[in-house]
Homo-oligomer: A and B are copies of this chain.
Amino acid sequence: MKSFKEMTREELLSLKSQLEKEYEDAKGKGLKLDMSRGKPSPAQLDLSKGFLDALSSEDTLKTEDGVDTRNYGLLDGIAEAKKLMADIMGVKPESVIVCGNASLNIMFDTVARSFSHGVNGETPWCKLDKVKFLCPAPGYDRHFRITEYFGIEMITIPMSPEGPDMDLVEKYVNNDETVKGIWCVPKYSNPQGYSYSDETVKRFAALKPAAKDFRIFWDNAYAIHHLYAEADRQDEILDILSECAKAGNPDMVYEFSSTSKVTYAGGGISAVATSDANLAWIKKSMTVQTIGYDKVNQLRHVRFFKDFDGVKAHMMKHADSMRPKFLAVLDVLEKELGGLEIGSWTNPNGGYFISFDALPGCAKAIVAKCKEAGVVLTGAGATYPYGKDPEDKNIRIAPSFPSPEEMAQATDLFVLCVKLVSIDKILETR
């Protein structure tokens, strides 16, 4: 089909009136679909059937080294859970602290601790006039909300399929001592599904921060969330902890992960992995904050999966449940928008999202038009710091919750709205 830009005003107007009829028909259907939330579907949660039976009153509730998980103690988690989370992140168990049900909470606490008490003895951020974070974008809105909550200035860093623009990252980190951190989702990034290249990871590890207390917040949320079984469609990234150590920056990174999208989003376990010096600093405050996290649920995870192979096998079932939803979206996008030059989108090997870029200035209008016809998308702008997409073009599509059929239906309406809004945009610029 002809690209919209090549069409004459008349062609566009006649196409528009025809599409408007389709849109009115669609509205008549009274759709109620949600493509906004990166949450597991009931079917996916059902794949963890048996999880709750992994621990019963008949089982011993002691760890291999005899710790009674029912009782107080063991601040940094049970050894078996440390091993499991370490395998998921590809790090050493001794680098890991296993926490509660949400890695977001660990990230919040890490920023909060740096704000109130500083990082490894450096000046608390609350005593500084200015603290900045680099925010590769499009990115994860909940990361940006944490830094915004603590009054940290956020600087947008463009993303590419290899990861953040490292020239810019190096320029800021190596020269500006008010830059204290950067938010990263290094594998199957939210929302684009990009995985950082080896060169990107090595350049991160080789940073020479102006600030002693600069840290990389490495949110490895989708470390094992592949969509395909084929090896050539499974991304792997370098282990940032060992790369930083090799480069002489052992303390420069905190890595986070959880089982929220492995077992239950409402009942998983989370973990942080970092250097000995950082672990010691974290524990100094953690020991004031709690006596210990839920060790019973840690043991439940270990008993259910047995080992990392168990986790990987489990995640392949997830892939089989997620893949059809992604393919349903990609199929409609390709069929309906291919060649029109009014949008581009990602085709990730894993993660939870597809990122769509409309023509500049169209995202808000597309999201609004979809909503009017009963299809909810993540708010336009949500993927950028302060919720402001400078070009108003990025839209995050979350296929995880609805069924493949619902995703196809929702995407049919989505492309219709993309076309209508794009025609108006092109006409107004003629």
Do A296 and B126 have beta carbons less than 8 Å apart? Answer: no
A45: contacting residue among B56, B71, B105, CB under 8 A = B71
Stretch at the interface among A175-183, A260-268, A332-340: A260-268
In the complex, the chain B residue whose C-beta lies closest to that of A50 is: B57
Given the known interface contacts A57-B49, A149-B288, A291-B102, the answer about A71 and B266 at a Cβ–Cβ threshold of 8 Å is yes
Give the copy number: 2
Q: Is there a chain B Cβ closer than 8 Å to A116's Cβ? A: yes
Given A267-B296, A294-B266, A294-B267, do A116 and B126 touch, yes or no (CB 8 Å)?
A: yes
A112 contact from B37, B55, B102, B116, Cβ within 8 A = B116
Question: Quick one: which of A42, A45, A104, A112 has the most chain B CB within 10 A?
Answer: A112
Provide the A68-83 mask, 1 if CB < 8 A to any CB of B, else 0.
1111110000000000
- Pairs A–B under 8 Å by Cβ, sample size 29: A37-B72, A39-B71, A39-B73, A42-B71, A52-B57, A52-B59, A53-B57, A68-B266, A69-B266, A69-B267, A70-B267, A71-B266, A100-B100, A101-B294, A104-B289, A104-B290, A108-B288, A108-B290, A112-B112, A115-B116, A116-B116, A116-B150, A145-B288, A149-B285, A265-B291, A266-B294, A266-B295, A266-B296, A267-B296
Residues on B with beta carbons closer than 8 Å to the beta carbon of A146:
288
Q: CA separation between A140 and B316, bound complex, in Å?
A: 49
Query: Which residues from B are CB-within-8-Å of A291?
Result: 102, 104, 142, 265
Q: Are A108 and B71 in contact (CB under 8 A)?
A: no
Task: List A28-76 residues whose CB lies under 8 Å from chain B.
Answer: 37, 39-40, 42, 45, 48-53, 55-57, 59, 61, 68-73
Residue A292 CB within 8 A of the other chain: yes
Contact A102 B290 (CB under 8 A): yes
Chain B residues in 8 Å Cβ range of A264:
69-71, 296
Chain B residues near A105: list those with CB within 8 A: 289-290
Mark out the residues of chain A between 115 and 160 whose CB falls within 8 Å of any chain B CB in the assembled complex.
115-117, 124, 126, 142, 145-146, 149-150
Interface bin, chain A:
35 or more
Contact B45 A52 (CB under 8 A): no
Pick from A69, A115, A117, A296 the residue with the most CB of B within 10 Å: A296
Q: Does A384 contact B (CB under 8 A)?
A: no
Which 5 A-B pairs rank lowest in CB-CB distance, beginning with the nearest?
Answer: A267-B296, A266-B295, A70-B264, A108-B289, A72-B265
Distance in angstroms from A222 CB to nearest chain B CB is 16
A56 touches B57 (CB 8 A): no
The answer, yes or no, to whether A349 is at the interface (CB within 8 Å) is no
Interface residues of A, dominant DSSP: loop
For chain A, residues 359 to 410, give those with C-beta under 8 angstroms from any C-beta of chain B.
none
* Partner of A295 from B55, B267, B293, B296 at Cβ < 8 Å: B267
- Residues of B near A124 (CB, < 8 A) are 126
Would A39 and B72 count as touching, CB distance under 8 A?
A: yes
Q: Which residues in B have their C-beta under 8 angstroms from that of A52?
A: 55-57, 59, 61, 296
Q: Which residue of B lies closest to A99 (CB)?
A: B100
Distance in angstroms between the alpha carbons of A49 and B295 in the assembled complex: 17
Q: Does A297 contact B (CB under 8 A)?
A: yes
Q: How far is the CB of A139 from chain B (nearest CB, A)?
A: 16
Query: How far, in whole Å, are A73 and B61 apart by their CA atoms in the complex?
Result: 29
Cβ–Cβ < 8 Å partners of A115 in chain B? 116
Please determine whether B265 and A70 come into contact, CB atoms closer than 8 angstroms: yes
Q: A64: shortest Cβ distance to chain B, in Å?
A: 16
What residues of chain B lie closer than 8 Å to A56, measured between beta carbons?
A: 52-53
Chain B proximity of A316: nearest CB distance (Å): 20
Chain B residues, Cβ within 8 Å of A48: 70
Q: Are A57 and B68 in contact (CB under 8 A)?
A: no
Shortest beta-carbon distance, A34 to chain B, in Å?
13
For the complex formed, measure the closest distance between the CB of A151 and the CB atoms of chain B, giving whole angstroms. Answer: 9
Other contacts beyond A42-B71, A101-B294, A266-B296: 10, CB < 8 A: A40-B70, A51-B57, A69-B264, A100-B101, A105-B289, A108-B288, A116-B126, A145-B288, A149-B285, A266-B294
Given the known A-B contacts A102-B290, A108-B288, A288-B149, are A267 and B297 also in contact in the complex, defined by CB atoms under 8 Å?
yes
